[in-house]
Amino acid sequence: QAVVTQETSLTVSPGGTVTLTCGSSTGAVTSGHYPYWFQQKPGQAPRTLIYDASNKHSWTPARFSGSLLGGKAALTLSGAQPEDEAEYYCFLFYSGVWVFGGGTTLTVL
Amino acid sequence: QVQLVQSGAEVKKPGASVKVSCKASGYTFTGYYMHWVRQAPGQGLEWMGRITPSSGDTNYAQKFLGRVTMTRDTSIRTAYMELSRLRSDDTAVYYCAAEYNWFDPWGQGTLVTVSS
């Protein structure tokens, strides 16, 4: 089974910009992996931020954006807010099965 | 409204089985995959598998092959996830999630504790 890799932790200053990445052990991440990004806060279920690499959900703040960059999926946060401190998970599709990345703990400090 | 309501917390002994239910409302149950995801305490999300409610077809993560069974009852709009031969490291919150609205909604989670 494929392994999906993410940064373990990142820190961003309030108002700053940070990019989280998502790689695949099988090679480049493409649109065919239908990349998702989920945000999870303590004690809550995950919530979709981005689907199909770059599409925002109805509740996704404009400061979040998704892309495919250098063979990886990327989630960019521009203008970080304290409420963005959370765990972020990448989620990729591989011919009938889905795999989560290990998650990135984002600290806004 | 669109929601998934899961069954309550369970405590099981090692070697036993657990069956968690997930009742859907507010959307066409048979029209969208239902996924099961678990999260051990302090750990990340782990995809277990999915079921196609209209046909009953399933896809399971390799790790759970032979131990997990996902079923559904379309008459009551409910999906089930049964995990057998439980071990202590199966202690986790188990979520169902519908692919209805780009993986929304999720159930509230069901805590399964495996302890002797």
What are B70-93's pLDDT values in tens digits? 999 999 999 999 999 999 999 999
- CA separation for the pair B39, B81 (Å, rounded): 15
Other Cβ atoms less than 10 A from the Cβ of A53: the count is 22
Other Cβ atoms less than 10 A from the Cβ of B43: the count is 12
Tracing tokens 């002797």 back to the chain, one arrives at B116
pLDDT at res. A107: 98
Contact B59 A96 (CB under 8 A): yes
Q: Extract the residue ranges of chain A whose pLDDT is less than 50.
A: none
Q: Which residues of B touch A47 (CB under 8 A)?
A: 104, 106
Is any Cβ of chain B less than 8 angstroms from the Cβ of A96? yes
- CA separation for the pair B27, B53 (Å, rounded): 13
pLDDT at res. A34: 97
B22-66 per-position pLDDT tens digit = 999 999 999 999 999 999 999 999 999 999 999 999 999 999 999
For residue B59, give the nearest of A55, A89, A97 by CB distance.
A97
pLDDT at res. B59: 97
Amino acid letter, residue B101: N
pLDDT at res. A21: 98
pLDDT at res. B66: 97
Contact A100 B107 (CB under 8 A): no
pLDDT at res. B58: 98
Is the Cβ–Cβ distance between A38 and B103 less than 8 Å?
yes
Helix, strand, coil percent values for chain A (each to nearest 5): 5, 55, 40
pLDDT at res. A1: 87
- CA separation for the pair B22, A60 (Å, rounded): 26
pLDDT at res. B37: 98
